[in-house]
Amino acid sequence: MKNLVIGFGLSLLLSACAAETPNKANTPQEATTQQNENIKAEAHPATIAANKASVKALDFSDRRDFERAEKGFIATFDDGIAAYDPTSYDFVTGEAPDTVNPSLWRQSKLLAKHGLFEVSDGIYQVRSFDLSNVTFIEGDTGWIVVDPLISKEAAIRAKALVDRELGKKAVSAVLITHSHIDHYGGIRGLFTEEEIEAGNFEIITPDGFVLETVSENILAGNAMSRRASYMFGGLLPRNPEGQVGVGLGQAISSGEPGLLYPTREITEDFESFEVDGVPIEFMLTLGAEAPSEYMFYMPEQRAFCQAEIINHTLHNLYTPRGAKVRDGKLWSAYIDRAIQKYADKTDVSFGSHHWPVWGEEDVNELWRGQRDLYRYIHDQTVRLANEGYTMHEIPERLELPDSLASRFANRGYYGTLSHNSKAQYQLYFGYFDGNPANLNPLPPTKEAKKFVDYVGGSEAVLEKAKADYDAGEFRFAATALNHLVFAEPENMEARNLLAKVYRQLAYQAESGSWRNFYLTGAQELTQGVMDLPRPNTASPDMIKSIPMNLYFDLLAVKIDGTKAAKKDLELNFVITDTDQKAHLFLSGGALHHRMGSTKDDIPTLNITREGLDALNLKLKTVADLRKDGSVTMSGNPLKIKAFFDLIEDPDYWFEIVRP
């Protein structure tokens, strides 16, 4: 039964990426001496020209964001910690190098400013100690903390800075704006274990928070986490040829994420009550940026927390790491509701990322620009789709009007117009574009071999791709060389040239996540997949929070269907200390479960919930649990073993840029 320890791929994608290379910003660089010409590739003249052209509509003389990002600065630490070192971005100064899009460089300069800031009277933020911000609001008896970062270690560091500069206070309440890990994972860093045990504090979350934290991406977590290693650039060196930030923040902390259960969930829109003496009104924004999310307004301070619905970037309607698409129309509608209800009585608007804005005029400018941005992308994508344009044609025709595109807060530092328009197409029409040729194309390797054969062999592909590279025509060169690499994965000339192409596309990218994808792809083309430990995505708090029905769903997607189709197996699964039970059975190669029932005369596995958690945390073996009585079995033990032998953990470090 060793396969019962299945290693959850939870929704800890950010922490998973961080865990891959804790405090190893330069590890990839040290391993690439033989590929130095690729790592240190200079910007192609076409890249330099493209970067200059891409920012012509932007007013770099506008210094308002820099003034906002500096406003209220109190202090910082001059060094970092193993979990996160903000000083590793000290190189992001001065004019943009040729290897970074000037607009992305500007965004990274803004985000590289780290430390403690006063937002307004009684409201403080620690920024750039992680991907997200943590906010401290003065209550009657202690701090009301908003969104305590990704990891315990990062939160401890932020709280230590607040303690040093503002005096030590207990935390009286934690407001978690939404269900993504960069907004709750560090919560254990705010308290001692004794304080957690005493529970003399509130934890206020949006409706459905716990379920969403453990269920989002649970079934597809392995692939999403692997792709997150590309998106956030966790395998890249931090330098002007490598990772310079991700647009939403600079990077993600490593360390231990946690989860504490809420004491109160916001279930009604515009619920209003006092939190440690501070009146707060909560506005639910479910199903937009996150499945479970709220923004909130503090009338006494005339302050609005925009959570992650309003940002200084175009966010993701589809995240490149992979997730369900988001509805731009709904997202825009939430912002418009906030405008109607709060914009004319807000003096400062602050968020879970980036820097605040002050004054009614600037608040309205930011909010309205973000509202119009998401609605425009949604509406124009649907309009063009109704005219017959496909998911891959629409991004080539879709341009933001100058009134939107000229605003730095609407630029694609994190999300992009291209993949967000594809997301809105997918939302309505799915991936199929209606062309019969795309109903049943060959899989990538077979298609690649046919492509190479059609164009006259690998030498012909290389010759044309080299000519395109020299001419600065990178997009189709990437397509053709990708075919060649999938047709001939050991062709180092093809891999090296494709890596060079990817680097030029990275250097042109305004999006930090696109840049990281290109650069990580280039790195793995030339070095291969690095031999690193599998990241630990399963924190104890998350494993203990998994509902049993989701546990069985996760087992089901790890079943080898071909093998299972030859088996006739069923099993009762009983959690003895919580009185939960289920009947699991294989049918047609699929695993089904029926919660709340068991079947007579079939094998039964009896286990405590604590024992199941210990197995999945690899703290104990089945033999250990049988010895202490946490596991008992009835029926044929060989059938139980045969059942769990069908469950296979997927390989984490699978290939992405090679077959």
Predicted confidence (pLDDT) per residue in 405-458, tens digit? 999 999 999 999 999 999 999 999 999 999 999 999 999 999 999 999 999 999
Cα 361 to Cα 548: distance, rounded to the nearest angstrom = 50
Whether pLDDT at 30 is above 70: no
Q: How many CA atoms lie within 13 A of 51 on its CB side?
A: 26
**What band does 535 get if pLDDT is binned at 50, 70 and 90?**
low
Q: What is the mean pLDDT of residues 536-561?
A: 85
Taking 80 as the threshold, does the pLDDT of residue 295 lie above it? yes
pLDDT of residue 623: 86
Do the Cβ atoms of 376 and 410 come closer than 8 Å? no
| Per-residue pLDDT band at 14 (split at 50, 70, 90) | very low
What pLDDT does 25 receive? Answer: 34
CA atoms within 13 A on the CB side of 354: 31
pLDDT one-digit tens code per residue, 586-631: 999 999 999 999 999 999 999 999 998 888 888 888 889 999 999 9
Residue 57 to residues 408, 417, 515, 612, Cα–Cα distance (Å): 10, 16, 21, 58
Per-residue model confidence (pLDDT) at position 463: 98
- Region 650-659: mean pLDDT is 93
Q: State the Cα–Cα distance between residues 515 and 510, nearest whole angstrom.
A: 8
Would you state the structure tokens that stand for residue 371, as one six-digit string?
A: 């509202």
Confidence band (pLDDT; 50, 70, 90) for 34?
Answer: very low
Position 551: which residue type?
Y
**DSSP assignment string, 500-526:** HHHHHHHHH-SSHHHHHHHHHHHHHHH
Higher pLDDT, 215 or 604: 604
Residue type, 659: P
Q: What is the pLDDT of residues 162-192, one digit of tens each?
A: 999 999 999 999 999 999 999 999 999 999 9
Start and end residues for every CATH 3.60.15.30 domain found in the chain:
13-33+65-424
**Most confident among 18-27, 31-40, 170-179 (mean pLDDT):** 170-179
pLDDT in tens, 45-62: 999 999 999 999 899 999
For the chain, give the mean pLDDT: 92
Helix (H) or strand (E) holding 645: helix 637-645
Residue type present at position 102: P
CATH of domain 547-645: 3.30.1050.10
CB 279 within 8 A of CB 272: yes
Identify the burial level of 466 via C-beta atoms within 10 angstroms of its C-beta, where 0-12 means exposed, 13-18 middle and 19 or more buried.
middle
Q: What percent of the chain has pLDDT over 70?
A: 93
The answer, yes or no, to whether residue 2 has pLDDT greater than 70, is no
How many other C-beta atoms can be found within 10 angstroms of the C-beta atom of residue 324? Answer: 14
pLDDT band at 538 (very low <50, low <70, confident <90, very high): low
Q: What is the pLDDT of residue 393?
A: 97
Q: Where are the alpha helices (DSSP H) in 387-434?
A: 394-397, 402-405, 417-429
- CATH number of 13-33+65-424, picked from 3.60.15.30, 3.40.50.300, 3.90.1570.30, 3.20.20.80: 3.60.15.30
Residue 361 has pLDDT above 60, yes or no: yes
Flag whether pLDDT at 13 surpasses 50.
Answer: no
Q: What is the pLDDT of residue 536?
A: 60
Burial label for 457, CB within 10 Å (0-12, 13-18, 19+), is: middle
Q: How far apart are the first and last CA of the chain?
A: 32
Q: Whole-angstrom Cα distance, residue 334 to residue 331?
A: 5
Write down the pLDDT at residue 544: 84
Q: What is the pLDDT of residue 546?
A: 87
